[in-house]
Chains A and B, each alone.
Chain A
Amino acid sequence: MPILRDTGDADNVAGQDASAHELWPVVAAVPDPEMPPLTIADLGILRSVDEIDGRIVVTITPTYSGCPAVEYIEGLIADAVIETGVPADQVEVRRELSPAWSTDWITPQGREKLEMSGISPPRTLLDGTPVRIGLIACPQCGSTNTTEISRFGSTACKALYRCNDCAEPFDHVKEL
Chain B
Amino acid sequence: MSAPSDRLLTYVLRLADDNLILGQRLGELIARMPELEEDIAVANLALDHVGQARNLYQYASELDPEGRSEDDFAMLRDEREFLNAVLVEQPNGDFAHTMVRQFLLDAYQVPLYRALSDSADDRLAAIAAKAVKEASYHRDHSSSWVITLGNGTSESHQRTQTAVDALWRFTADLFAADEVEDELVAAAVAVDPSAIRPAFDATVADVLAQANISMPADPYQRLGGRTGFHTEHLGHVLTEMQILYRSHPGVTW
Nearest Cβ on chain A to B48's Cβ, whole angstroms: 5
The yes or no answer to B54 lying at the interface (CB within 8 A) is yes
Q: How many residues of B contact A (CB 8 A)?
A: 28
Contact of B47 with A100 in the complex, beta carbons under 8 Å? no
A154 partner residues in chain B, CB cutoff 8 A: 40
Nearest Cβ on chain B to A33's Cβ, whole angstroms: 16
Q: Quick one: CB contact mask for B16-54 with A, threshold 8 Å, 1 for yes?
A: 000000000000000000001100110111011111101
Complexed CA–CA distance, A135 and B73 (Å) = 44
Contact of B130 with A65 in the complex, beta carbons under 8 Å? yes
The yes or no answer to B141 lying at the interface (CB within 8 A) is yes
Q: Please indicate which of the listed interface residues B48, B50, B55, B133 has the most CB atoms of chain A within 10 Å of its own CB.
A: B133
The yes or no answer to B134 lying at the interface (CB within 8 A) is yes
Nearest Cβ on chain B to A8's Cβ, whole angstroms: 29
Nearest Cβ on chain B to A172's Cβ, whole angstroms: 13
Q: Please indicate which of the listed interface residues A62, A64, A160 has the most CB atoms of chain B within 10 Å of its own CB.
A: A64
B55 partner residues in chain A, CB cutoff 8 A: 65, 97
Contact of A100 with B40 in the complex, beta carbons under 8 Å? no
The yes or no answer to B127 lying at the interface (CB within 8 A) is yes
Q: How many residues of A contact B (CB 8 A)?
A: 23
Tell whether A151 pairs with B47 under 8 Å between CB atoms, given A65-B131, A99-B129. no
Tell whether A150 pairs with B40 under 8 Å between CB atoms, given A64-B48, A64-B51. yes
Nearest Cβ on chain B to A23's Cβ, whole angstroms: 26
The yes or no answer to A156 lying at the interface (CB within 8 A) is yes
* Secondary structure class of chain A's binding surface, majority of residues: loop
Interface residues of B in 209-227 (CB under 8 A from A): none
Contact of A151 with B141 in the complex, beta carbons under 8 Å? yes
The yes or no answer to B136 lying at the interface (CB within 8 A) is yes
* Secondary structure class of chain B's binding surface, majority of residues: helix
The yes or no answer to B125 lying at the interface (CB within 8 A) is yes
The yes or no answer to A176 lying at the interface (CB within 8 A) is yes
Nearest Cβ on chain A to B222's Cβ, whole angstroms: 29
Q: Please indicate which of the listed interface residues B41, B51, B136 has the most CB atoms of chain A within 10 Å of its own CB.
A: B51
Complexed CA–CA distance, A149 and B130 (Å) = 26
CB contact between A65 and one of B40, B41, B48 (< 8 Å): that residue? B48
By beta carbon, the residue of chain B nearest A149 is B37
Contact of A100 with B52 in the complex, beta carbons under 8 Å? no
Known A151-B137, A152-B44, A152-B141; 7 more pairs at CB < 8 Å: A64-B48, A66-B50, A66-B51, A98-B122, A100-B133, A156-B47, A156-B48
> Could you write out 22 A-B pairs with CB less than 8 Å apart?
A65-B52, A65-B54, A65-B127, A65-B130, A65-B134, A66-B54, A68-B47, A97-B129, A98-B126, A98-B129, A100-B129, A100-B130, A100-B133, A150-B36, A150-B37, A151-B37, A151-B137, A151-B140, A151-B141, A152-B37, A152-B45, A156-B44
Interface of B toward A, CB cutoff 8 Å: 36-37, 40-41, 43-45, 47-52, 54-55, 122, 125-127, 129-131, 133-134, 136-137, 140-141
Interface of A toward B, CB cutoff 8 Å: 62, 64-68, 96-101, 130, 149-154, 156, 160, 174, 176
